[in-house]
Amino acid sequence: MSTSNADSLVLSENANHPVNLICSLCRNFYNLGWVTGTGGGISIRERTPDHDHIFIAPSGVQKERLEPANMFVMDFPTQTYLRKPLDLKPSACTPLFMAAFSKRGAGACIHTHSQAAVLCTLLTRGKTWSIANIEQIKAIPRPSAGGYMGFFDTLVIPIIENTAHEEDLKDSLEKAIEEYPDTCAVLVRRHGVYVWGDTVWKAKTQAESLDYLFELGVKMVQLGLDPAGPITPVEE
Ligand SMILES: CSCCC(=O)C(=O)COP(=O)(O)O
Ligand SMILES: [Zn+2]
């Protein structure tokens, strides 16, 4: 069987090729309850000395059943599609993924519909969600200091309001990215979260750590504890 130039962009035996990673990670995310019922997904940017490509899954498909042949490939510098599967549309999250690539130089961006993320947005009517003094915060980067957050730091994640259509979140997500220069994530009220990282593995670690913190934060509120409150002194 002959293969077109465009198909060669998505055909690889390498498990770490972006299209293969999108398929395997989406199955992983599905099992975590992050991308059920077609919601959520991931986009990966591949920068080499020869090219700068964005790999995007199709819209409205069950993300745990993706195959490499379903993938869109965009040339990042010209923002034109190099590969467009017939009868499919690129993810509605594409403008949001592009914001993370353009404004943060991200290597991957993950969007989840995790219930823990959604619950955190419902526990406040404010524009941020916070948690403090939890070990897992140390997995979250703080680019302004050139490293990672510390145990005694307060993690603040901006929350934007949901819109009728995913793509209409772009302007408010970009605004949140600018207003919170240290953040690696933006929560979307009643919807989920976007998390990005310098590499696909950093994006995954950060998404897992944040989801752990979201779930913990929800449980703390259920127990009457303030996730962003001070450490209660222990008895001497
Ligand atoms: C029930 S999912 C609604 C759309 C959405 O929020 C989402 O994250 C999935 O968008 P896509 O276009 O990638 O299917
Ligand atoms: Zn979504």
- Let me know if residue 34 belongs to a domain: yes
pLDDT tens for the 236 residues of the chain, in order: 456 779 999 999 999 999 999 999 999 999 999 999 999 999 999 999 999 999 999 999 999 999 999 999 999 999 999 999 999 999 999 999 999 999 999 999 999 999 999 999 999 999 999 999 999 999 999 999 999 999 999 999 999 999 999 999 999 999 999 999 999 999 999 999 999 999 999 999 999 999 999 999 999 999 999 999 999 888 98
Whether residue 92 has its Cβ less than 6 Å from ligand 1: yes
In angstroms, rounded to a whole number, what is the distance separating the alpha carbons of residues 167 and 93? 6
- Expressed as residue numbers, the domain containing 142 is 5-222
Residue 116 alpha carbon to ligand 2 centre in Å: 14
Task: Kindly state the greatest CA–CA separation across the chain.
Answer: 75
- Burial of 200 by CB count in 10 Å (0-12 exposed, 13-18 middle, 19+ buried)? buried
- Let me know if residue 187 belongs to a domain: yes
- Let me know if residue 90 belongs to a domain: yes
- Could you tell me which residues are beta bridge partners of residue 188? 160, 192
- Let me know if residue 228 belongs to a domain: no
- Let me know if residue 236 belongs to a domain: no
**Which is nearest to 109 in space by CA: 212, 178, 206, 203?**
203
The encoded tokens of residue 124 equal 């406040």
- Let me know if residue 196 belongs to a domain: yes
pTM score, whole prediction:
0.97
ipTM here: 0.99
Which strand (E) or helix (H) includes residue 131?
Answer: strand 128-132
Three-state SS sequence of 58-75: ECCCCHHHCCHHHCEEEE
- Let me know if residue 235 belongs to a domain: no
In angstroms, rounded to a whole number, what is the distance separating the alpha carbons of residues 28 and 42? 11
Q: How many domains does the chain have?
A: 1
CATH value at residue 190: 3.40.225.10
- Let me know if residue 229 belongs to a domain: no
pLDDT of 56 reads 98
Residues annotated as part of the active site = 135
Whether residue 220 has its Cβ less than 6 Å from ligand 1: no
Mutate to test the pocket of ligand 1, among 36, 38, 195 (most ligand atoms within 8 A of CB): 38
Mutate to test the pocket of ligand 1, among 59, 65, 114, 170 (most ligand atoms within 8 A of CB): 59
Neighbouring C-alpha atoms within 13 Å toward the C-beta of 40: 33
